[in-house]
Structure 1
Amino acid sequence: MSESRQPSLSPPPHNGGVIDEETRYEAVRSRDARFDGAFFFAVRTTGIYCRPSCPAVTPKRQNVRFYTTAAAAQTSGFRACRRCRPDAVPGSADWNVRADVVGRAMRMIGDGVVDREGVPGLAVRLGYSARQVQRQLTAELGAGPVALARAQRAHTARVLLQTTDLPVTEIAFAAGFASVRQFNDTIRTVYALTPTALRAAAPRRGAARATPAAGIPLRLAHRGPYRADAVFDLLAAEAVTGIEEVTGERGARTYRRTLRLPVGTGIVAVEETHHDATTGTGAGSSGEALHRGGWLDARLHLTDLRDLTTAVQRLRRLFDLDADPYAVDERLGADPRLAPLVAARPGLRSPGTADPDEFAVRALVGREGAGRLVREYGTVLDAACGGLTHTFPAPAALAAVPGTVGALAGALADGSLRLDAGADRDDAEAALRALGVDARTAAVIRMRALGDPDVALPGGPERALDAWRPWRSYALRHLALGGGA
């Protein structure tokens, strides 16, 4: 890779802007990992599509086509590159920033809504007809909701094939496919291999594949530098007894929690040490290794494997793994007040939550109050796992609690308030205020539960204005850690 080329490119405009084709080709030519997930490129002469940072020889410009999503490349007949594995890139930060129909739809598809409820269910949640949703996604992304969900199912299937010894038939249904035949056809189309051959092609890292009882090992990819220490500090400070715990020494901690999922429950463990995608070595949590990207190691135990896709996406939102730190740091670093804070903590994230409904309740009652609710209303695990004993109570279980907590839980239970991945952020904030939630708490819920990267807290820093858009949530994190908030 020619490192000298990389600084000449601006970070991808993850705010609804358009990346022109010449910029895209220059990113491919310089193997710029900052653009991984922002777009994909396909090569007509090979029939393969790749991520921009693919280490293969750069194809001639006339043979290259560009696509916004992997699903669009697959729909056009291209198969995934076995060398750069474009299906494993971090998600586009566009879907965090954008509040329009396409952004909301992409977040919901990632959460598994199409797999569980079909396109009609997605359309109902968006407030549009199925035909309108199909038209808007196809026009902008080159693929409709079925193709986008299909690409996601293929990735889930590859992870299960290459990391577990589950029977192929079980993997087909766990990944969300309606039939084994559909599963086989999709794997052949996307990877140009049969499921058995794809499993045999799994990279060997000196360890046998995991069994389901041992959990599913995952690499949670991120782009650019990642300030793991700040994320794990926050998670440790907020951890609620019974559903969360942080163990180990700073720099090598493990965050564990229970998950309440659409079909069953889960327990996840995520390691603080992050890995450099270029060298494959641990970068620790001090932030000194400003690598081009990497991953966090995780292990996921599920009572029902159909929850895998949803669980992974919720972890990605919790750890803010689809963020674009280059775009964030460039914008905020231009502000004189924030510049020294950004320089001290490049790659700082704005963590979300693994359960939006849970976070909203926790924002109202605080850490100790949440612990009491877990003990009184939470669901006890069949077998305790370390300090993990419960899952957080479902909204319906809290609806009878007096006061604002009960009103909030009741609204979540009956659907009059939605905080799911595709919720309209303005509508949700208005509904929270109508339930008696104060403006600052409603803004915190919007930032964390709804993953809004551009929230300014009422009564917060005076200069949390347009100069920080669309990354005001990140600016507040810098100020909080730098003593400026």
Structure 2
Amino acid sequence: MMDEDSRYEAVRSRDGRFDGAFFFAVATTGIYCRPSCPAVTPKRHNVRFFATAAAAQGSGFRACRRCRPDAVPGSAEWNVRADVVGRAMRLIADGVVDREGVAGLAARLGYSARQVQRQLTGELGAGPVALARAQRAHAARVLLQTTGLPVTRIAFAAGFASVRQFNDTVRAVYAATPSELRAAAPRGGRTARRTPTPTAGIPLRLAHRGPYQAGPVFDLLEHEAVPGVEEVSGTPGTRTYRRTLRLPYGTGIAAVDERPGAAHPGSGAHPGGWLDARVHLTDPRDLTTAVQRLRRLFDLDADPYAVDERLGADPRLAPLVAARPGLRSPGAADPDELAVRALTGRDEAARLVQRYGKRLDAPCGSLTHLFPEPGVLAEAEPDGTLGALTAALADGTVRLGPGADRDDARDALAAVPGLDARTTAVIRTRALGDPDVAPPGRDIPDSWRPWRSYALHHLRSAGELEYR
């Protein structure tokens, strides 16, 4: 935990390591920024600190147009924490409040709506409605400044219930109308802006903090790719990963490029960057959910500084960390799908896709199907471990979504007949995004905690362990 003096020192040094970890606002200007903002450092007595962008917005501050604080990756804390606040933040990022309201969020967490409101407000300075509103505002700004979509369509794609709500929120957060915000797009955004087509999709930049080793992530995705659902094209360094997505309102096809984007301006000695992506959706309301699922798959909300600092202190891992700073631990775009694939392997998963997967209404190249849902598989092939696992996923005995309780999920997986410890470890690492999983039967030092999942990826990337 940082005190306010330490936070101010981070602001004075424009330290990009803390972008997303906290925000600061300037009382004399009414603007809030990320710590790495390149503007002149304000005087200490004029600065206020906030845990979230939503808290700054709720206190009447508008987003800085220079450093765009709403565009930073989410706090790495929510990527790691397994408590109710961490689970709530992952569910809000997945769009649950937009789809189901605060009551739906609370039900998924097993708490009352009042308890959830109290915990989030007490720790983050903003409740679930305000946090979801900040997320919608960011999605709206991205669409306004990078696409030529009509404003009405953008309002609903960003998750707003009405155009009026959309207009009011954009004015409150950015002190500009949607039309003014679109006109103020950076030069590159204005040049590239276009109305998305079925082949191009909505162009996005998936931001990450610090260094990002894209090569090992794409190596793994290429090794695992299930025909019909996924494909990786191109050569190392310039590959593109594409896959189909089952989403709350419809379906989608996402494409992510391997080559990282340029560093964010003003990020000082610790630049971040982004992966270029495109998402084509049958229903624009699925945009936020699709983006968050890609972020989890590519582990874009991790804190590489914390991971590398801990693992780099170990003599065995130090040269591996130095060779691959910012190595990630990939997650899953669809946790239930990942669990089935961890059990069956790639070839059997491909058979299940062709036999039971839902064919896309408009196939795109080699992408032809959605991965079959657990309920379909449980009914079609009810026997053995596959039948037991898919039945448990279908009836909710095993829950692996973004708001899942990791301890409960671990215990539920252990109760699935025939599911071995090694497969369970893969599911915990990938589907649950657990950063601290050690495979059974291996002597893994406690000094690697809480980042043992990342340590294993270093060993695999160095050829000391095989990818499963």
- Give the TM-score taking structure 2 as reference length: 0.95
State the Cα distance separating 1:291 from its structure 2 match. Answer: 6.1
Which of the numbers 430, 445, 454 marks the counterpart of 1:465?
445
Summarize deviations over 1:120-179 as a string: whole Å, max 9, x none.
111111111000000000000000000000100111111221222222122212211122
* 8 Å CA contact retained: 1:276, 1:291: no
Structure 2 segments unaligned to the other structure (5+ residues): none
Report the count of equivalent residues: 457
| Residue of structure 2 in register with 1:454 after alignment | 436
* 8 Å CA contact retained: 2:16, 2:270: no
Query: Following the alignment from structure 1 to structure 2, what is the Cα–Cα distance between the partners of residues 207 and 34?
Result: 29
Summarize deviations over 1:42-75 as a string: whole Å, max 9, x none.
0000000011111111111111111110000001
| Residue of structure 2 in register with 1:238 after alignment | 224
Query: Following the alignment from structure 1 to structure 2, what is the Cα–Cα distance between the partners of residues 118 and 405?
Result: 34
Is the partner of 2:187 in helix, strand or coil? Answer: coil
Trace 1:427-446 onto structure 2 (pairs within 5 A): 427-436=408-417, 437-446=419-428
Which of the numbers 371, 386, 406 marks the counterpart of 1:392?
371
| Residue of structure 2 in register with 1:251 after alignment | 237
Summarize deviations over 1:209-232 as a string: whole Å, max 9, x none.
232533100001111111111110
1:342 aligns with 2:315: no
State the Cα distance separating 1:407 from its structure 2 match. Answer: 2.0
Trace 1:205-224 onto structure 2 (pairs within 5 A): 205=188, 206-213=191-198, 214-224=200-210
| Residue of structure 2 in register with 1:147 after alignment | 130
Which of the numbers 261, 283, 287 marks the counterpart of 1:275?
261
Trace 1:233-382 onto structure 2 (pairs within 5 A): 233-278=219-264, 292-382=271-361
Trace 1:71-150 onto structure 2 (pairs within 5 A): 71-150=54-133
Which of the numbers 395, 400, 403 marks the counterpart of 1:419?
400
Residues 465-474 or 235-244, more deviating:
465-474
Is the partner of 2:363 in helix, strand or coil? Answer: strand
| Residue of structure 2 in register with 1:228 after alignment | 214
State the Cα distance separating 1:328 from its structure 2 match. Answer: 0.5
State the Cα distance separating 1:272 from its structure 2 match. Answer: 0.5
Summarize deviations over 1:253-276 as a string: whole Å, max 9, x none.
111111111111100111100023
Query: Following the alignment from structure 1 to structure 2, what is the Cα–Cα distance between the partners of residues 403 and 196?
Result: 58
State the Cα distance separating 1:208 from its structure 2 match. Answer: 3.7
State the Cα distance separating 1:447 from its structure 2 match. Answer: 0.5
* 8 Å CA contact retained: 1:379, 1:391: yes
Query: Following the alignment from structure 2 to structure 1, what is the Cα–Cα distance between the partners of residues 167 and 215?
Result: 42
Query: Following the alignment from structure 2 to structure 1, what is the Cα–Cα distance between the partners of residues 212 and 322?
Result: 13
Query: Following the alignment from structure 1 to structure 2, what is the Cα–Cα distance between the partners of residues 222 and 327?
Result: 14
Trace 1:182-193 onto structure 2 (pairs within 5 A): 182-193=165-176
Letter in 1 for 2:349: A
Aligned-residue RMSD, C-alpha: 1.4
Query: Following the alignment from structure 1 to structure 2, what is the Cα–Cα distance between the partners of residues 67 and 264?
Result: 36
* 8 Å CA contact retained: 2:225, 2:232: yes
Letter in 1 for 2:356: Y
**Quick one: percent identity of the two aligned structures?**
78
Is the partner of 2:322 in helix, strand or coil? Answer: helix
Is the partner of 2:261 in helix, strand or coil? Answer: strand
State the Cα distance separating 1:207 from its structure 2 match. Answer: 2.8
Query: Following the alignment from structure 2 to structure 1, what is the Cα–Cα distance between the partners of residues 351 and 152?
Result: 42
Letter in 1 for 2:53: A
| Residue of structure 2 in register with 1:7 after alignment | none
Query: Following the alignment from structure 1 to structure 2, what is the Cα–Cα distance between the partners of residues 328 and 484?
Result: 19
Query: Following the alignment from structure 2 to structure 1, what is the Cα–Cα distance between the partners of residues 291 and 196?
Result: 18
Letter in 2 for 1:392: F
* 8 Å CA contact retained: 2:171, 2:178: yes
Is the partner of 2:289 in helix, strand or coil? Answer: helix
State the Cα distance separating 1:383 from its structure 2 match. Answer: 2.3
| Residue of structure 2 in register with 1:405 after alignment | 386
* 8 Å CA contact retained: 2:218, 2:241: yes
Is the partner of 2:25 in helix, strand or coil? Answer: strand
Query: Following the alignment from structure 1 to structure 2, what is the Cα–Cα distance between the partners of residues 448 and 361?
Result: 12
Trace 1:64-75 onto structure 2 (pairs within 5 A): 64-75=47-58
Summarize deviations over 1:13-55 as a string: whole Å, max 9, x none.
xxxxx11111111111111111101111100000000111111
Letter in 2 for 1:476: L
State the Cα distance separating 1:408 from its structure 2 match. Answer: 1.6
Query: Following the alignment from structure 1 to structure 2, what is the Cα–Cα distance between the partners of residues 363 and 81?
Result: 44
State the Cα distance separating 1:91 from its structure 2 match. Answer: 1.1
Query: Following the alignment from structure 2 to structure 1, what is the Cα–Cα distance between the partners of residues 334 and 100?
Result: 19
Letter in 2 for 1:403: G
Is the partner of 1:299 in helix, strand or coil? Answer: strand
Is the partner of 1:184 in helix, strand or coil? Answer: helix
State the Cα distance separating 1:384 from its structure 2 match. Answer: 2.0
Is the partner of 1:399 in helix, strand or coil? Answer: helix
| Residue of structure 2 in register with 1:4 after alignment | none
- Give the TM-score taking structure 1 as reference length: 0.92
1:41 aligns with 2:21: no
